[in-house]
């Protein structure tokens, strides 16, 4: 079921299975998605890395993710674009920027509890009911239901990722750091660069990540660079030197050393 508004608002609910998954592998420009798997053993390659998703797990993707489906048993997805609901403009409402979407190298995989699943299922049912509506309140109601889904998924993921170890202000700093890395990883490679943008010290940023994750802020930056490089090596035929330049390396030797340190093989070997 699909909703298309008068100013290009796009919202769709799909059941995915077998060979029906084109919306995941060929997303429209600017598309965001929430996919909940309904059976075990779904195998997807996302940005050249293989993942197995089991029943009830949820993954959030953008149109920048490169997805290949190996096995898709059964899933349900929400697809929407910024004209329908812009998560950046409404960040104060849903708080998913830098968590569910645009979170640097992290692929947000959500593992709901039994209690979470009951609430999520209610929201899914309400969305399906509203998709069948045709009155002048349909857009507002669908946006409200999507907002509820985003808030629920953000809460679950934050709990799962130990965001409770920091206060709300500190969590926002981490989210903003993740988003800024997503925006600037090609030209800014040092934690100090992002600390300046956030008006914080590099030590403050490092201490916050130490409470939440076993990854340091520098590893987050490097992970996002590596994610982009793997995408470009796997899905384009651009020369290695050009890819290195794309992510901020003027010297191909330095780029190759960086890549091999993290991947264990050279860029050319990875591509082959």
Q: Annotate 121-184 with DSSP letters as a single string.
A: HHHHHHHHHHHT--STTHHHHHHHHHHHHHHHHHHHHHHHTTGGGS-HHHHHHHHHHHHHHHHH
Determine the straight-line distance between the first and last CA of the chain, rounded to whole angstroms: 41
Name the packing angle between helices 252-263 and 217-235 (round to 10°).
100
Q: How is residue 264 annotated by DSSP?
A: S
Q: Tokens 């600390």 identify what position?
A: 195
The CATH homologous superfamily of the domain defined by 2-161: Regulatory protein AraC (2.60.120.280)
Q: How far apart are CA 98 and CA 104, in angstroms?
A: 7
Closest CA to 255 of 267, 263, 264: 267
Asked if residue 135 has pLDDT above 90, the reply is no
Q: How far apart are CA 248 and CA 258, in angstroms?
A: 12
Average pLDDT value for residue range 101-123: 91
Radius of gyration of the chain (CA): 19
Q: Model confidence at 201, in pLDDT bands (50, 70, 90)?
A: very high
Q: Tokens 């409402």 identify what position?
A: 93
| 104/99: higher pLDDT | 99
pLDDT in tens, 251-264: 899 999 999 999 99
Q: Which two tokens stand for residue 168?
A: 């709300």
Domain over 165-271 is classified CATH 1.10.1270.20: no
Asked if residue 104 has pLDDT above 80, the reply is no
Q: Tokens 């920091």 identify what position?
A: 166
* Global pTM value: 0.90
Burial 96-126 (b: 16+ CB within 10 A, else e): bbbbbbbbbbbebebebeeebeebbeebbeb
Average pLDDT value for residue range 128-143: 88
Q: How is residue 27 annotated by DSSP?
A: P
Q: Model confidence at 151, in pLDDT bands (50, 70, 90)?
A: very high
Structure confidence at residue 217 (pLDDT): 93
Q: CB 245: neighbour CB atoms within 10 A? A: 16
Structure confidence at residue 93 (pLDDT): 87
Structure confidence at residue 184 (pLDDT): 95
Closest CA to 132 of 144, 122, 141: 141
CA angle 160, 126, 7 (to 5 degrees): 95
Q: CB 15: neighbour CB atoms within 10 A? A: 11
Are 28 and 49 contacting, i.e. CB atoms less than 8 angstroms apart?
no
Are 113 and 159 contacting, i.e. CB atoms less than 8 angstroms apart?
no
Q: How far apart are CA 75 and CA 204, in angstroms?
A: 40
Structure confidence at residue 42 (pLDDT): 95
Structure confidence at residue 3 (pLDDT): 86
What residue spans in the chain does CATH classification 2.60.120.280 cover?
A: 2-161
C-alpha of 52 from chain center: 16
What residue spans in the chain does CATH classification 1.10.10.60 cover?
A: 165-271
């Amino acid at each position: 079921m699909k909703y298309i508004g008068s100013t290009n608002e796009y919202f769709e609910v799909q059941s995915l299975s077998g060979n029906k998954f084109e919306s995941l592998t060929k997303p429209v420009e600017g598309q965001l998605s929430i996919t909940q798997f309904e059976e075990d053993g779904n195998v997807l390659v996302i940005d050249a890395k293989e993942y197995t998703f089991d029943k009830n797990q949820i993954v959030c993707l953008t149109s920048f993710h490169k997805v290949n489906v190996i096995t898709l048993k059964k899933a349900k997805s929400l697809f929407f674009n910024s004209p329908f609901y812009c998560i950046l403009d409404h960040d104060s409402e849903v708080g998913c920027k830098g968590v569910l979407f645009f979170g640097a190298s992290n692929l947000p995989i959500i593992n709901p509890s039994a209690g979470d699943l009951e609430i999520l299922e209610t929201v899914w049912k309400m969305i399906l009911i509203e998709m069948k509506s045709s009155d002048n309140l349909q857009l507002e109601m669908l946006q409200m239901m999507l907002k509820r889904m985003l808030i629920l998924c953000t809460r679950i993921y934050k709990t799962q990722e130990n965001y409770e170890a920091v206060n709300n202000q500190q969590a926002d700093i981490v989210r903003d750091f993740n988003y800024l890395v997503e925006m600037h990883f090609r030209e800014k490679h040092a934690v100090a660069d992002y600390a300046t943008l956030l008006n914080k010290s590099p030590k403050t940023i490092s201490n916050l990540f130490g409470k939440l994750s076993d990854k340091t802020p520098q590893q987050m930056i490097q992970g996002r660079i590596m994610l982009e490089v793997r995408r470009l090596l796997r899905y384009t035929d651009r020369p290695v030197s050009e890819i290195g330049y794309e992510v901020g390396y003027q010297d191909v030797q330095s780029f190759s050393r960086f890549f091999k340190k993290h991947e264990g093989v050279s860029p050319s070997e990875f591509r082959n």
